[in-house]
Amino acid sequence: MLVEAVLFLGGLAALVFGADRAVTGAGDLALYYGVSPFFIGVTLVSVGTSVPEMVTSVYAAYYGAGDLVVGNIVGSETAQITLAIAIVALVAPFVTERRNVLVYGSAMLLAMIIMVLTLDDGVIVRSEGFLMMLAYVQFVYTLYTNEGGAEIAEEVIEEPAEPENALPGILGGLALVVVGGQFMVTNGVALATTLGIPEYLIGLLTGLGTTLPEIVVAGIAAHEGRGGISVGSILGSNITDPVFSLGVGALFFDVTVGDVTTLWPSITYMFVASAAVLTLFYWRRGIDRRMAIVCLALYVPTFVLV
């Protein structure tokens, strides 16, 4: 069991670090060749930060661990909307326009609703996975036609590296993603079996793990006074995960969960916590340190409801 735990944590670390290296290198390369900041923002940044969730989704779907897939998405969603926002606000309180809260908040809740509807029968088939990914593409198109997405694009690296310096990071990062995802999922399933705990709980823990780098990066950026920490950049991956990341796994292999009814408590709480934080955002036009404590408290019940 100790070996499986070490391999699980090692796989998670490799997955997260590799994704970060690959996304950073790809952003450098795209900027070097003149790709628009908007396109980089809504693809490499928003989708790229969800690479760990996507890889977990594909591997877990392949091994028939549908509960782990959904747990990973729910865990990541809840951690980002509560824990990530709380930590950033504690470091440096931030404000935002109510229009951005409505745009990104509505899109996030809609993405969650789509995920729940596809999970209703306990199976997400390939056609549903394709439609989920299509829904995300529609969101990106809507942002583009309304000249939105600037908040996400602000996270793009300003000074791109030379191609010869970016390529090793991309290739090495992708290799770590592939190997790390394999080790994490296979050993996560083995741990759940050995300890007699639900795969869904392992997924929730994995969701927290894949969110930690984003929390660290956002916290450092806030501490340095960079204003790119906004509703768009924080909620971007929360829009991506329920439809695009989960859809990618279902596109390759059907995602099947054991008992849907056991998932509803934590999924319902994900909605409740998300709605509560979005209400605070809209009401106070941002999150200060006092409201950050509220967001932090909202994360605590996540694992109690499994």
Global pTM value:
0.78
183 belongs to a structural domain: no
Domain that holds residue 135: 46-155+198-303
Residue in this structure with the two tokens 């890889």, named with its chain if needed: 55
State residue 94 phi and psi, 5-degree precision: -135, 160
Domain membership flag for residue 66 = yes
Q: Is residue 218 part of a domain?
A: yes
Residue 110 lies in a domain: yes
What DSSP designation does 263 have? T
22 inside domain:
no
Q: What is the C-alpha to C-alpha distance for residues 207 and 78, in angstroms, rounded to an integer? A: 9
Q: How many Å apart are CA 143 and CA 133, to the nearest integer? A: 16
Distance between CA 79 and CA 84 in Å, rounded?
6
How many structural domains are present in the chain? 1
The per-residue pLDDT string of the chain (306 residues; one tens digit each, 9 = 90 and over) reads 777 777 777 877 776 777 677 667 776 776 677 666 556 655 666 666 677 777 777 877 787 878 888 888 888 888 888 988 888 888 777 777 777 778 788 888 999 999 999 888 888 888 888 998 888 888 877 766 665 555 555 555 556 666 677 777 777 777 777 677 667 667 766 766 677 777 777 777 777 777 766 666 566 556 655 544 455 666 777 888 888 888 888 888 888 887 788 888 889 999 999 999 999 888 887 788 888 899 889 988 877 765
Q: Do the domain assignments include residue 227?
A: yes
DSSP letter string, 63-94: TT-HHHHHHHHHHHHHIIIIIIHHHHHHHS-E
Q: Which two tokens stand for residue 19?
A: 């994704």
Where residue 280 sits, what CATH number does that domain have? Answer: 1.20.1420.30
- AA letter at 63: Y
The answer to whether 236 touches 150, Cβ cutoff 8 Å, is no
Residue 192 belongs to a domain: no
Closest CA to 21 of 213, 159, 155, 242: 213
Contacts of 133 (CB under 8 A, 6+ apart): 243, 244, 247, 248, 251
Task: Say if 283 falls within a structural domain.
Answer: yes
Can you tell me the distance from the alpha carbon of 191 to that of 194, in angstroms, rounded to the nearest whole number? Answer: 5
